[in-house]
Amino acid sequence: AQTVTQSQPEMSVQEAETVTLSCTYDTSESDYYLFWYKQPPSRQMILVIRQEAYKQQNATENRFSVNFQKAAKSFSLKISDSQLGDAAMYFCAYSHYSNSGNTPLVFGKGTRLSVIA
């Protein structure tokens, strides 16, 4: 079974600084997707960024970028120029394709990010 591990329960960052959240995963599949979701206090889960395993290039979305190390099964999220609105729980998640469609998302336990003004 696939597993996702986030080893940092809490992180903090100064406003305008850069922070990196860590995630490792375990799978025997070769073709899969990795995601970072943000859950602010409002509880609405929002997709931040997505990475296809077959792509070597790291995904970027504005201030958010990932460092995808397939051999090491590592998938970290870098937030640049941190803003107060970035404060939230961040979840790393995994899915892969199967004959019955996309497999359900497997989530890590989350990292609570605080942004200090």
Partner 1 sequence: KAGVTQTPRYLIKTRGQQVTLSCSPISGHRSVSWYQQTPGQGLQFLFEYFSETQRNKGNFPGRFSGRQFSNSRSEMNVSTLELGDSALYLCASSLAGTYRTFFGPGTRLTVL
Choose, by CB under 8 A, the member of 45, 74, 80, 112 that binds partner 1: 45
27 touches 73 (CB < 8 A): yes
H or E element that contains 92? strand 88-98
The answer to whether 41 contacts partner 1 (rule: CB under 8 A) is: no
Terminal-to-terminal C-alpha distance of the chain: 41
CA-wise closest residue to 34 among 48, 52, 22: 52
The answer to whether 95 contacts partner 1 (rule: CB under 8 A) is: yes
Query: Residue 93's Cα: distance from chain center in Å?
Result: 6
The answer to whether 103 contacts partner 1 (rule: CB under 8 A) is: yes
The answer to whether 109 contacts partner 1 (rule: CB under 8 A) is: yes
The answer to whether 14 contacts partner 1 (rule: CB under 8 A) is: no
Q: Which residues contribute to the site for partner 1 (CB under 8 A)?
A: 33, 35, 37, 42-47, 50, 52, 91, 95, 100-110
